[in-house]
Structure 1
Amino acid sequence: MEQSFMTFKLLVSYIYCSILVMSMTVSTFDEQVLLDFKSRITDDPFQVMSSWNNSLHYCNWTGITCNPSFQRVMILDLRSLKLVGSIPSSIGNLTFLTTINLRNNSFHGEVPMEIGNLLQLQHLNLTWNSFTGTIPANLSYCKDLRSLALEYNSLVGKVLPDQFSSLSKLNYLGLGSNNLTGGIPSWIGNFSTLRGLSLAINNLQGPIPRDIGSLSNLQIFQVYGNQLNGTIPQSLFNISSVYYFSVTQNLLYGELPSDIGLTLPNLVVFTGAVNDFTGPIPVSLSNATKLGVLELSQNKLTGNVPTSLGKLQGLYRMNFEINSLGRNTSGDLRFLDFLVNCTSLQVLSFEDNILGGELPKTIGNLSMRLQIFALGYNMIVGSLPTGLENLVNLTLLSLDNNYLRGSVPESLGKLRRLQGLLLNGNKLSGRIPSSIGNLTSLSTLHIEDNELEGSIPPELGQCIRLSRLNLTGNKLVGSIPKELAGLSSLSISLALANNSLTGSLPAEFGKLINLKEMDISHNKLSGEIPSTLSSCVSLERFIANNNLFRGEIPESLQGLRGLEEIDFHTITSQEGIPEFLGKLPYLRKLDLSFNELEGEVPTEGIFANETAVSISGNDELCGGPPNYNFPTCPKQKDASSKKHISSRIKVAIIISVAFLFLLLCSFAACYLVIRKSRKRDLTGWSSRERQVLLVISHQCPNIIHHYLAEYGSGVNVSTLGDVYSFGIMLLELCTGRRPTDEIFKDGLNIHQYVKSHLPRRVTEIADASLLLAYEEHNIFEDYASDLEEKAILQDDEYISKLNTSTIIQERLISIIKIGLFCSSSSPRDRMPISIALKEIHTIKNLFLESKRINNSIDRSDGNKLIKLSSSEFY
């Protein structure tokens, strides 16, 4: 007996020693696996791995928890430590592991299939990492898994392989925000302990299985952001424990159950936006008294908004935008009166529905926590109610695209936290309140397409965070306040188009260095485009068409390398198209049509794509790519002597108008002075004034004699003498001859010379440089060869037969006729200054109209020119 006892004692000692030795051996093996894990970490900003060394037992390393009896690793918890690396396959040797939590790091690579060897594993959390590949099927061996969380990775493949049906102990399954495919399997209904199911933001298809209604303990149901179709099974609406229900952004349809608030009384979040749900908003939702988020935007819901929703005192977000709610009747907005009881409300949006009626005054009594109030794109009438200023925490007020009238209240300036103000697309009138300048948090201001009047308040320059400003389509007048140039925050757009703004574009706008879009089109802005805009280095779209700008496009704009669109339609006049426009690398659209451009069209850059360029209405352009169909440019032999004929005519018109105005003013003054002096009525004149009068009366004849020195007619003091000089000047300008030329002898003067060639032989007497320019620019089509044939026609027939290319010749003849009238030998037959001025203006206006509108004058307009019968000339 004693011997047997000794034998048993020795056996126990042997077994204990064997277990001890084995435990020490396996423990050492666990340490090697952890060191292998450490070697895969490539970035450790918090120096977590520094504790993983031989100076400490591995059970004391950061993130490690061991079994107290056997010193085996049970928990690996390295969550939210910004670690970068991968998981080694050797992790499958930590067979005592029950929990792996690596969430919110930057682990990458595939999830090793060896994890399937961890038969004691209960919790696996790899969310918010960068894992790729498929979910390892070997996980099906981990039958004790309670939670499997793999959300927010880049996993692919089938969402739930059939092998996973063995994981019946799961209480949380999270596979959302990956790239998984397939459908929701019906066997998921066997997971009787499942409390949370998150399959959101994948590529799942097919219907929601009815078997899911067997998950009697389900609390979280998230399948938003997929392509699930069909109707939601009624069995799902019967799981009373559900408090988070989200099916947003799928292809689901049908009506929501009328008793949903009774069958899902614990709802806190209910979202079903971006589907095709129809029917009314269930009135029973008011029974889900815990409801905080109610989101059903972008569906096809109809009917009135239930006033019973005002019972949801815990509601903080309500969004029903883009539906068909309301009937465009006066009672559609009645529900707002009841929402004053929702004291936690922060977001209230019913944009893009059919809500009619007026905004109730109770709006001012809505929750003081309200941040977003959006009722845009409805049928709301009336005016903006008082009380809006009470919503002091508003960050967005959106009432755009309704039928609101009246003025914009000054009291809106009290909403100091407002970041977005959208009142565009209404019928608001009056002035823009200067109090908007108090909204220093404002980033977006849209009040375009109204009937606002007055000037742009300079106080807008105080909105120091403004990134979008749109005042387009109103009745604003006055100049653009230079204070806007101080808004360095303007980074998205500045739109002032379709108003009646005048003055120049402030040079200070060069300070808008962050601005991407500027639209000032369809105004009455004048002056030149400031060269300072070259500092707007972020500008991508510059729309300035249909203004009264003059001058050239500044060469300094070539520094705006990011420009994608330029529209200078009908704004400017210059000698040619700047070459730098063809060198802007990102330019995709260019409109220079109906200006007064001349010269050669560039061929590089955007000009190589004729569909991206509009340069019509510029008759004097030449060259360019073949598809533009402009005439070939002439060879530049002597630029100084080859002025374009249209330029000469424009010069003649401008000089004529200026000269006539000068003469009219000068001679009117002289005439009055002389008349006064002859009457000797100097009563009331001081001695100094009498001296000045005598000087002027003696000098007036000298002034007149100076004007008539070369063309003098020997007449007494009168405006008729200078009309004669003016007429001779016009004839000289058009013919290139002077009255003192040798050709004028034996009684022949320039007046008779020109008169004998008008109108059929006008090209024979025109300045040779004009003819040369005409010949090289192909202005008059085959004129010389058809001269005899055209001479046979009567004047009116001749004019009507001219095509669009003869417009300039018509104007030349008209100017010569004025010159002949004004230089008649008899002063009585000369055209009065006032009439000459009127006729010159007529020619100028017709010339500009033909150039800038349709490149050809209406034949009826041609009759507006001076028409003299043959008896008056011959």
Structure 2
Amino acid sequence: MQGIICSYPAMRTLTCATSTSAGNVTDVLALIAIKSKISNDPQGILKSWNDSIHFCWWAGITCSHRRHGVTILDLSSRGLVGSLSPPIGNLSFLREIRLSNNRFHGDIPHEIGRLCRLQLLNLSYNSFEGKLQSNLSCSNNLSILHIDDNRLIGKLPVELAPVSKLTYLSIRDNHFIEGIPPFLGNLTSLIYFAARSNNFGGRIPDALGRCRSLRNLGLGGNNLPNLTLLIELYLDYNKLNGSIPSSFGNCQNLILLTINDNELSGSIPKELFNIYSLCVLLNISHNHLVGSLPSEVGKLTNLNTLDVSENNLSGEIPSSLSGCTSLEILNLEKNQFQGNIPPFLSFMRGIRAIDLSCNNLTTKIPQYMEKFALEYLNLSFNNLEGEVSTKGIFANESIVFVERNKKLCGGITELGLPRCNIKQGEKGKLSLVEIIKIVVSVTCAIAGVIVVSFFLFGWYKRKNEDQSSGSLLRESFRQLSNEALLKATDGFSSSNVIGKGSFGFVYKGVLQEDGTNVAIKVHDLKHRRASKSFNAECQASRNIRDRNVARHSPKSYSFTRISIAIDVASALDYLHHYCWKPIVHCDIKPSNILLNNDMTARVGDFGLARIISGPRKPKARRSVGVRRTIGYTAPEYGMGSEVTVQGDVYSYGILVLEMMTGKRPTDSLFEGGLNLHNYAKTALPDQSPQDRMTTSAVLNELHLIRNNLLRNQAHR
């Protein structure tokens, strides 16, 4: 039937060239109807839709080679304006419809539901209105449905449930209402579901858990459950995108929130700082956040750790941050903050660690910083200028980092900064500070000899003891039945509980066969990290052959607390330097120190231990410090630093201070800038200002000696 004349209402006459079947005529009429509803074609894409060439050669059209029917309609990103004509449902061989990024409006024709071969429907970034048609379920082969960024309303039609091949469903930025429908659990092939920025409410249905293939789920910007009873929320290390939901502000019981290491963008919502209960950690680092740090941050008066590092935040550091009076760790590194180091930081006397590195901060380092009792200060990679102090914390190069500030000078020689210009008249004259340095150097030299002698004594003592420990080690690992453990603990009675950790309980017991006192740790395998903790403890235990860790022969000391401190120090020294593979315990605290009948101390609980298998140190998760015990953990762990033996030494220092003062680092006494370190210093005799300066310098030098000793031993 060559040369058939085809007509359509309100259309000019069209010759259907080389048409050979009624199916072809149907396709041509449908395409002409689609063209008729397009009122603006800025790119002239539809000019080829005429009778001069076969319709299979028209722009945006792909046909089947066998049937010469239209299989793909692709007019995406053409700037077309108009509505979508219902005769599109007559293109019976159509497999793909791609009309995204245009200006189509009106309803989505329900006739699309007749296309039983349709596999892909992409109508995103248009202005379609009305409800999503329920008869899309007729398209049993539909696997990809994208209708983002339109004006669709109503609820998702339950008729989508039978579309079992659906793998990608994206309905973002519309006006869908009610809840996430439970029928989505029937879409077992679903890989991607994005429903961000709609008006969904209620709870996330449990049925969604049946979508075993689901890999990407985006539900932000809705009115889903407020989770008002939630206490801790960990959303870190995912692929979350979009903005941080302002609805987090409704979670008024949260004490910890981590949404770091995702792909979040946009600004930080002010509502995030209305969670007055936040007291442990707020970590939104390693995202793509922009804008300023909102002034509302000062409302978090109980917050311990704030980490907004590695984003694209800009502007000045807000002065309201001074309201965070409980802050101990502040991490703003790798942003675009500018201006001065704010003076209000001087009011944060409880601060232990500050990282302002890799920003655009200018002017001088404030003099008040030298008076801080900081354990970590990083001002590297900024535009700071002027002379660096040699007093206070700046006398300790192990905790202060100021490199890559080209205009800085002075400071102690270990910082490697150029000398500042010295005025005439000051040359050849020793200052009070220099005189004090000489006195301190002599004092530290003596202290160094004492410390080295202590380590040599411990090494000699261990060498002699190890020679006689062979037989003891061979019987260290006993095989006990469950029945024996039950009898030893009276059926794991609660009266025998001597400790509780993150992953279970520790029971005391007496073995009936020989009366041996034992401590038995029982892991709760319902906890998702319990298995990992158990494996870590087993792996660490197989490398341990020390009496203060595994078993210990009785001995006596005249002063009990000193003997306990020596036992723990000996155990740590062995773990760090004499194991077959060095071990970092990572959780030294009083509850992990066990005492036997003669008050001999043993270090226990290796569930968080890390084995250093070679010259390279193990990488720790960035939140490793927070997930251990607040108050005992080294401050650099809160910054995401690597696990090191120095971290154990820090925890040991806190343990000793607690033993000597009777105060825990988390005691309610330590408020308003007072902490355990300062509290211990107040026990020193009355001193003149000059003596206090000398004492502070001696303590700093001793801290440096400790780090140097640890470094030297680590290379042995």
TM-score range, shorter chain: 0.3 to 0.5
- Which has the greater radius of gyration? 1
- Quick one: higher RCO (CA 8 Å, sep 6+), 1 or 2? 2
TM-score under structure 1 length normalisation: 0.31
TM-score under structure 2 length normalisation: 0.37
Greater share of residues in helix: 1
